[in-house]
Amino acid sequence: MKLRKGTREDAAALFSIIKERIEWMDREKLNSWNNVGYLTLFPLPYFEEEAGKGTLFVADDEEKVIGGAVILESDDRWPEGGSALYVHNLVARAGTNGGSFILSEAERMAKNEGKEYLRLDASSENPPLLSYYEKKGFHPNGTVEIGVYRGIRLEKRV
């Protein structure tokens, strides 16, 4: 597996994975992206634009895209304080270790860039996901709201 900057074509593949995961959330009765109009908040053109900016990253297994995220140097959803990389829209194909791999690579990027933190957010309505991030070493640091989405900001010192 490798993490690389995504292209506009990769954006379409990633968007397809997001749709698959939303369907999975519905089947599993999880309350997350599937209940906040995620595809409206983050439509395909958003991911294509991020690819154009060089902030879309994808993980592939040499054959196809298995996940990705938008990784930013700054984020107005977080208060000032501490240098960080910000991970948004993290998604991985079910049955892969893509999410863990992307987080590990983002952490490595943050360390290499001399950042203090890796930051992200997760739905406050999804306890299993919050527990997953806590097991990865992330700690709560406030809340975030985007439309009807209510999230917990999480950070990890790198």
Q: Average pLDDT over the chain, rounded to whole? A: 93
Q: Which residue has the higher pLDDT, 24 or 81?
A: 24
**pLDDT for position 33:** 82
Provide the token pair at 43: 């439509």
What the chain holds in terms of domains, given with CATH numbers, is 2-157 (3.40.630.30)
What pLDDT digit, counting tens, does each position of 46-56 carry?
999 999 999 99
β-partners of residue 88 are 70
CA distance 29 to 104: 28
Alpha-carbon distances of 43 from 39, 77, 100, rounded to whole Å = 5, 19, 24
Give the pLDDT confidence of 89-143 residue by residue, as tens digits: 999 998 899 999 999 999 999 999 999 999 999 999 889 899 999 999 999 999 9
Q: What is the DSSP track for the chain?
A: -EEEE--HHHHHHHHHHHHHHHHHHHHHT--SGGGTTHHHHS-HHHHHHHHHHT-EEEEE-SSSEEEEEEEES--TTS-S-S-EEEEEEEEE-TTSSHHHHHHHHHHHHHHHTT-SEEEEEEETT-HHHHHHHHHTT-EEEEEEEETTEEEEEEEEE-
Cα radius of gyration (the chain): 15
Partnered with residue 122 across adjacent β-strands are 152
Which residues, listed in sequence order, are joined to residue 82 by a DSSP beta bridge?
none
What does the pLDDT read at residue 31?
Answer: 73
Structure tokens at 1: 């597996």
